[in-house]
A and B are shown apart, each in its own frame.
Chain A
């Protein structure tokens, strides 16, 4: 079974500064997907960024980028120019790329990191 670990329960950053959230995972699969989700106080799950394991290039989405180290099974999220609206709980998640089985598509989440942004 796959596991996802986020070792930072809480992080804080000053507005306009950069912060990095850590995530490690364990899997025996070679093909999979990794995600970062944002959950604001509304509890809505918002997809921030997605990385395919077969791609060596790190994914970027505007101010959000990842550092994907496949050999080390590490997948960190960097938020640049932090904004007050970035304050939320962030979850790292894993999904198998294996299309077989009735649980195809299920996500395994890390414990989450609460990000506070100070003005």
Chain B
């Protein structure tokens, strides 16, 4: 089945530094990937839609300069949390759908737990 690999699974960084999270579709091409954020025992909130070769579409209230998204190929999207602060500590999950399959389901990565100290 389709696999989405997300790396790293856990990261601890100091306040003020930047962290990059990768989301790869291993066995399918993904024109579109989605980045979600989840606080403990809460829902997944869509942060942005990542489209290969174009600028990401950010949801209202999400700072595009803080959460940089790059989708440079059909199999890789990256989320960079710039100048991270403790309030950015959260669980980040990416998902992707196969480009060439109509109504293909979304496949999720295993998530990244970010802790900013």
Contact = CB atoms under 8 A, between A and B. Distances in A.
Q: Is the interface of B mostly helix, strand, loop or mixed?
A: strand
Interface in B77-97: 91, 93, 95, 97
A47 interface: yes
Contacts, number: 56
Contacts of B67: none
Nearest to A9: B41
In this complex, the interface size class of chain B, counting residues with CB under 8 Å from chain A, is: 20 to 34
A42 to B, nearest CB: 8
A109 interface: yes
Interface in B58-113: 91, 93, 95, 97, 102-106, 108, 110-111, 113
A103 B49 contact: yes
B49 A44 contact: no
B96 to A, nearest CB: 9
Q: Which 7 A-B pairs rank lowest in CB-CB distance, beginning with the nearest?
A: A45-B108, A105-B97, A103-B49, A109-B43, A109-B44, A43-B111, A111-B43
7 contacts: A43-B113, A45-B108, A91-B44, A102-B49, A106-B46, A107-B44, A112-B41
Given A43-B38, A102-B57, 8 more contacts: A44-B108, A50-B105, A97-B103, A99-B102, A103-B57, A108-B46, A111-B42, A112-B42
Interface of B: 32, 34, 38, 41-46, 49, 51, 54, 57, 91, 93, 95, 97, 102-106, 108, 110-111, 113
Interface of A: 33, 42-45, 47, 50, 89, 91, 95, 97, 99, 102-112, 114
